Structure 1
């Protein structure tokens, strides 16, 4: 299991999210999880708060953010991983409430996968609209 910490500090805002996950290589389709691509699957059903050890229940929107982030790197994972199926099981999140926004889930899990498979880093710029407080991600694609 590997932990990746996504951090952004800019004038006016900061984001922080740590994510611990493991890659489970399978010879057949997984029984649990959600398909992200042809061979990459996501399981976020057993996630804990890394600081308190309590169980976290992610919202559909949070799971969708994780899927977006994995989707950004799934093609690169499939190029370097020979297993027929790869299940990414998210095990824990490090959430600092003052610096947490759901939008950080996508680049955090993408960064985790880049570390896990030694992939070239993707640039992801977090932008916060100071008027509305809404975040957007620019994946530099």
Structure 2
């Protein structure tokens, strides 16, 4: 199990989120989690808070951010791993409450995958609209 720490420090805001997960290679479809692609699945049913040791129940928005970030890197996983199914199982989150925004889950899991599967680092620039407080993530994708 690997831990990845996503951190952004800008003049108007800061984000920090640590994520520990494991990649489980399977020959049959997983019995837990949900598919993010044909071969890559996400399971976040047994997530713990690293600082308090208690279990976290992620809400639908948090799960959606995890799916978004994982979806950004599934193509890379499928290129380097030939397992019929790969279950990414999120085990622990390191949440610093003053710097936590659920949106940080997306680049955190994408960074974790890049490290776990030896992929090129994920480029994700973060900005924040000061009037609304909304975060924007630029994944560096070009329109097709």
- TM-score bin, normalised by smaller chain: over 0.9
Structure-2 residue corresponding to 1:57: 57
**Given the two structures, how large is their TM-score scaled by the length of structure 2?**
0.97
SS of the counterpart of 1:132? coil
Structure-to-structure mapping, 1:33-72, within 5 angstroms: 33-72=33-72
Structure-to-structure mapping, 1:1-141, within 5 angstroms: 1-141=1-141
SS of the counterpart of 1:119? coil
Q: CA RMSD in A?
A: 0.5
Structure 1 stretches of 4+ moved >3 Å: none
Separation (CA, whole Å) in 1 of partners of 2:137 and 2:8: 12
Separation (CA, whole Å) in 1 of partners of 2:117 and 2:132: 37
**Given the two structures, how large is their TM-score scaled by the length of structure 1?**
0.99
Separation (CA, whole Å) in 1 of partners of 2:24 and 2:77: 13
> What 5-or-longer segments of structure 1 have no aligned partner?
none
By how many angstroms is 1:122 displaced? 2.0
> What 5-or-longer segments of structure 2 have no aligned partner?
none
Separation (CA, whole Å) in 2 of partners of 1:66 and 1:122: 15
By how many angstroms is 1:60 displaced? 0.7
User: What is the number of equivalent residue pairs in this alignment?
Assistant: 141
